[in-house]
């Protein structure tokens, strides 16, 4: 739309029936036919280079794309053993980690069951409080060093664990989480406490991730100190 000033020589199209022929377009000088002016060799090389650079940049950008895990993950607040980890809707503190060869549960009806395992039970004791509204936790996860996710075991009735109570604002509620894992999954394991998801399925929910401090020595200690029977009752 904008009309170029008549003195312009940079237009990509022939600017007139008699363009000033550049030196690099040697044609037959018979004047029978004028070819449209081609862009100079340098310009073509430049355009090619720019195109390649853009393509390379686009490919390089792919490497910064979020992975499956990252793009869908919850918002995670991290901390260590014994620390109070303050997330957006609740705070949690892991008080201790214990190993056990078996877990004996006594439910409200005094029914006693003893669960055994080919691996090891990991019992995490913790407490939590909510900030504004009551919250309830979903099944906690033990996240291993190689990103395998072990859900809390169903051999222990969930009514005896931290999943059961509503976490109220104003005071701390104590509870346990029990996992069943192979012994080789212990080193570097982290404890993940997610919130129960509603019917609609909210994404980016807050969760707390606590490093259980299980280095090589810590793992050996946990295994060596593992109780033969860890008792759990509905009464605290």
Partner 1 sequence: MTSPPGGGTRRRRPIAVPVTALVLSAGLGVTAALGGFADAPKEPPKQLGPGAVVDQKQFLTKFVTSRTVYQPDEYGPGGRRFLEVELEVTNKGDETTGTGAPGKDGYFFAKGLLAMSPAITPEGGPIVNIADEGVPSRQLHPGVASTVVLRYELPEGQEPPEKVRFDVGTFEFLEQFTIVTGSWILEQDGAADDSPPKVVAQVTLPVERGEEG
| In contact, 162 and 138? CB cutoff 8 Å | no
Letters for 186-205 (x = contact with partner 1 by CB under 8 A, - = none) are: -----------------x--
151 is an interface residue for partner 1 by CB under 8 A:
yes
158 is an interface residue for partner 1 by CB under 8 A:
no
Q: Which helix (H) or strand (E) holds 217?
A: helix 216-224
- C-alpha 161/C-alpha 125 separation (Å) is 9
209 is an interface residue for partner 1 by CB under 8 A:
no
What separation, in Å, do the N-terminal and C-terminal C-alpha atoms of the chain show?
82
**Buried b or exposed e, range 125-148, using 16+ CB within 10 angstroms:** ebbbbbeeeebebbbbbbbbeeee
117 is an interface residue for partner 1 by CB under 8 A:
yes
**Which range, of 39-47, 85-93, 122-130, 146-154, touches partner 1 by CB under 8 A?**
146-154
235 is an interface residue for partner 1 by CB under 8 A:
no
Nearest to 97 by CA among 236, 199, 230: 230
**Which range, of 40-48, 111-119, 158-166, 211-219, touches partner 1 by CB under 8 A?**
111-119
**Shortest distance in whole angstroms from residue 142 CB to partner 1:** 9
Rounded to an integer, what is the distance from CA 60 to the centroid of its chain?
Answer: 22
**Which range, of 49-57, 78-86, 113-121, 123-131, touches partner 1 by CB under 8 A?**
113-121
**Shortest distance in whole angstroms from residue 150 CB to partner 1:** 5
Task: Return the residue of 12, 13, 68, 171 that touches partner 1, per CB under 8 A.
Answer: 68
| In contact, 197 and 138? CB cutoff 8 Å | yes
- C-alpha 99/C-alpha 225 separation (Å) is 7
113 is an interface residue for partner 1 by CB under 8 A:
yes
Cα dihedral 178, 107, 233, 170, rounded to 10, equals: 80
Nearer to partner 1 by C-beta: 132 or 149?
A: 149
Which residues are at the interface with partner 1 (CB under 8 A)? 68-69, 71-72, 102, 105, 113-119, 147-151, 153-156, 180-182, 184-185, 203
């Amino acid at each position: 739309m904008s009309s170029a000033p008549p003195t312009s020589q940079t237009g990509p199209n022939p600017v007139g029936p008699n363009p000033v022929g550049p030196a690099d377009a040697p044609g037959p000088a018979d004047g029978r036919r004028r070819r449209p002016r081609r862009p100079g060799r340098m310009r073509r090389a430049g355009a090619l280079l720019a195109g390649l650079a853009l393509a390379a940049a686009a490919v390089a950008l792919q490497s910064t794309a979020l992975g499956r895990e990252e793009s869908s993950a919850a918002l995670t607040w991290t901390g260590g053993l014994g620390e109070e980890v303050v997330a957006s809707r609740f705070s949690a503190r892991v008080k201790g980690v214990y190993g056990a060869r078996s877990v004996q549960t006594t439910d409200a009806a005094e029914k006693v069951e003893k669960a055994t395992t080919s691996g090891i039970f990991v019992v995490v004791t913790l407490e939590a409080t909510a900030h504004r509204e009551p919250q309830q936790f979903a099944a906690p996860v033990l996240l291993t060093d190689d990103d395998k996710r072990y859900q809390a075991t169903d051999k222990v009735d969930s009514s005896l664990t931290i999943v059961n109570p509503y976490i109220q604002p104003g005071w701390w509620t104590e509870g346990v989480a029990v996992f069943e894992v192979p012994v080789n999954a212990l080193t570097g394991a982290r404890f993940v406490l997610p919130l129960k998801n509603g019917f609609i399925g909210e994404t980016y929910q807050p969760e707390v991730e606590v490093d259980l401090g299980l280095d090589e020595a810590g793992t050996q200690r946990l295994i060596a100190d593992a109780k033969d029977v860890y008792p759990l009752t509905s009464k605290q």
